[in-house]
Structure 1
């Protein structure tokens, strides 16, 4: 399956794995890349030394292209940005800020830069600063979200920029991939689907909670603070939303979620931790290898597009 994204990144399939903090380690990134997609190490709040070690370990497992996702609010962002160059990483995706200050350094080193955007304005700005592509991520996604849905965001971004667009948010199977192509995207990014990959080293309780999720099981916390986060409903989310409704302070709300993602991912506390997942969680119910996931999604997308081409001539 060749698209502008596979040609840009040198991968077999236009499937990018989301750079999920505490989830996307070198095991997952290497497995996705070995399967023909683009694996990402989710730097999240990691210190730079740990990111360097993750990159080293990923290189030991695959010689295929892989990347690093940098959360630009990370206090170590400057050092991580330099590590990308020093260790020869070929792709970087960014979130929680603008990567403009690192663009020259990365471009000179031949790094492909793909910011995650939630609006047309940011997509156009990133193109002006030299981004090679953008991930247009709709509000259906898990974790930190914007307001626009994938269905309305992707085509508007496609129309606004000349660089390739990767669709993200609410994509978990071949039908979603085919829909993304119809909207003009050149590839897809999936996070929630890979939560159940056998190579994903998260607590089994987390995987089980995602597998059992229904279509209405996600909630968004933090809308009043300006930092909305999509998670699966549990005791913590119910308490958070009650506090929000009662006008709790930002500090009180932050204290409730402090360390919540680690609590869910590492400790398996899916009642009091932040079980981040997208709205597509209701569709994700089986554990598979990364290779099986990618092959199934790509094969289904091809089949759907063949059927529709026959249907509509």
Structure 2
């Protein structure tokens, strides 16, 4: 592997200088962080799940005002207005549409026909094969080390498995922070790396300083995977608040807490009670209790309490295990420059 290997298929596909992606994190990946990543030569992805349609339109305009480089927007494929948001991305000349859940083939076709690159995120080989068959241009594969919703298979096993199974570019996520990781991912067959926690811990990240300090103080064993939030495994920083949520409690007490969070999320997001109930009805199909349904529907409020309001002990902080290896807060430009220099040094040493 030579230094030329650091210019991969996704560099040309996305129109970026380096094979580095900043993931779309709710309440974190705002216009500033997205544009800072784009200006540094990576692919910045704007998070939209916690934004209303009008807020998303303003955020996209803000990114355009900050950079002329390509960037992406992360959409919820199951959002009631997903098609309308897709139209907005097309209208505003967004380069990449990323998804945490697999979009339907019709939505993929719609975006691709308009010239967008479609990149879903998956946590299993069969899901990668499915979206590749539906026409996705590339796929982000997150191993169990990653933050937020995650699976049980570590990146070192999942990544080569998926790379062998599909012909589209595979972007590795879960456990990446430096140039050594980039070279390792390329050796496993990836076309680049995607990082969430590492970009969260930059000076361009909008989260509160108290929360950043909590992340920096974490060790590799200070995260926990819990299903208590929405019935699906999520990796978050361990705190007394998270332990309390995961601890068995009387359903009535949980319901009161969940209702309060739901009321606050509905006010901020503009969502109607009807839409929350519809979403909850779908979740009931997964066997969740009603208090779990409400907690799942308003988990964004728990994340907001920590990330936006700066109350790490009163909210939820999604985190990859890699937080335990991060001890500084560079800018996005400094971070990406350092990763690429480290990767080149590793290749030179191996040669």
TM-score by length of 2: 0.83
| 1:32 Cα offset (Å) | 0.3
Superposition pairs of residues 14-53 of structure 1, within 5 angstroms: 14-53=19-58
Does 2:133 correspond to 1:128? yes
Once the two structures are TM-superposed, the CA of residue 147 in structure 1 deviates from its matched residue by 2.3
Deviates more, 1:125-134 or 1:224-233: 224-233
Structure number with greater Rg is 2
Distance across 2 between alignment mates of 1:262 and 1:229? 16
**Deviation for aligned residue 1:195:** 1.0
Residues 178-217 of structure 1: CA deviation (Å, up to 9, x unaligned) = 1111111010000100112111111111111111111100
SS of 1:243's equivalent in the other structure is: coil
Choose from 181, 190, 197 the match for 1:185.
Answer: 190
Is the alpha carbon distance of 1:155 and 1:262 closer, same or farther for their aligned partners in structure 2, counting shifts above 3 Å?
same
Instruction: Give the equivalent residue in structure 2 for 1:255.
Output: 295
- Structure 2: which 5+ residue stretches go unaligned? 1-5, 255-287
1:93 alignment partner, SS class? strand
Matched, 1:266 2:292: no
* Deviation (angstroms), 1:241: 2.3
Give me the whole-angstrom Cα distance separating, in 2, the residues matched to 1:17 and 1:224: 24
Matches within 5 A, 1:1-313: 1-222=6-227, 226-243=231-248, 250-253=289-292, 254-255=294-295, 258=299, 259-309=301-351
How far does the alpha carbon of each residue in 1:130-189 deviate from its partner, in whole angstroms, 9 at most, with x for none?
Answer: 111100111111111122211111111110111111000111111211111111101000
- Post-superposition offset of 1:252: 3.3
**Could you report, residue by residue, the CA deviation over 1:264-296 in whole angstroms, capped at 9, with x for unpaired residues?**
011111112001110000011111110001011
Which secondary structure does the structure 1 equivalent of 2:99 belong to? strand
- SS of the residue corresponding to residue 73 of structure 1 reads coil
Q: Is the 8 A contact 2:147 2:318 kept in 1?
A: yes
Separation in structure 2 between the aligned mates of residue 78 and residue 49 of structure 1, nearest angstrom? 14
Tell me if structure 1 keeps the 8 A contact 2:228–2:245: no
Partner of 2:259: none
Q: 1:218 to 1:86 in 2, by over 3 A?
A: same
CA distance in 2 between partners of 1:223 and 1:149 (Å): 22
**Would you say the 8 A contact 1:99–1:115 is kept in 2?**
no
Q: Is the 8 A contact 1:155 1:183 kept in 2?
A: yes
Q: What secondary structure does 1:44 align onto?
A: coil
Q: Check whether the contact 1:175–1:300 (CA below 8 A) recurs between aligned residues.
A: yes
Partners of 1:225 and 1:250 within 8 A in 2: no
- RMSD of Structure 2 on Structure 1 (CA): 2.0
Unaligned runs of 5+ in 1: none
CA positional deviation for 1:223:
6.6
Residue 301 of structure 1, CA deviation:
1.7
